[in-house]
Structure 1
Amino acid sequence: MNSVVLITGATSGIGKQLALDFAESGSRVIACGRNEAVLAELAATSSSIETLKFDVTDYEETKRVLSSLKTIPDTWIFNAGDCEYMDDGIVDAQLMARVMNVNVVGV
């Protein structure tokens, strides 16, 4: 039986490439992210990729979506992340709170 891999942050970068690579190697992939259009494009690349749209910073939504899984993944890759570049070097508290909410709390 092929393994099941769940990947958060699968709509771009490393997460997207991991989803494609795991699917190509025969795993069933549950690709998670916030962008429904990109998730649909990703799912169209392989019948081994299914998608879940949710925001890891929304605890109740995350709990609801993950508790609805019919199969417990063999591998969990918590890849969702956010970063912001500040040209002037001034840290905006709201911006940093959002980044921390995704990168620390959401994982």
Structure 2
Amino acid sequence: MPKSKRSRRHYTTEQKVEILKEHLVDKVLVSEVCNKHQLQPSVFYDWLKQVHANLGGALTTPAPSGPSKREKELAAKVAQLEARLAKKDSVIAEIAAEYTQLKKELGEP
């Protein structure tokens, strides 16, 4: 008499998460979780290994797409300081020109 093959079950990511939460959050024994969902303990532990292997990725924050608030503040401050420096340069150039003109008028070397 030929044995009928059992078809494999395919769980979605959401289903896997819910099954793992039963054990990790609700503290249900692994054997009870596996019996309830007709799941082999080896499959459950493989899922658990995957969770632990990818845990670092879950805890990292995504890189911001644009400049941060602090970078924007610093850029504004740089622009302000560059404007002040340009104004000072023009004042110094004007004073130097007046000084040179006075020296010529007074005949000083």
Asked which structure has the greater CA Rg, the reply is: 2
Higher RCO, 1 vs 2 (CA within 8 Å, ≥6 residues apart): 1
Q: TM-score, normalised by structure 1?
A: 0.23
More helix by share: 2
Q: TM-score, normalised by structure 2?
A: 0.22
More strand by share: 1
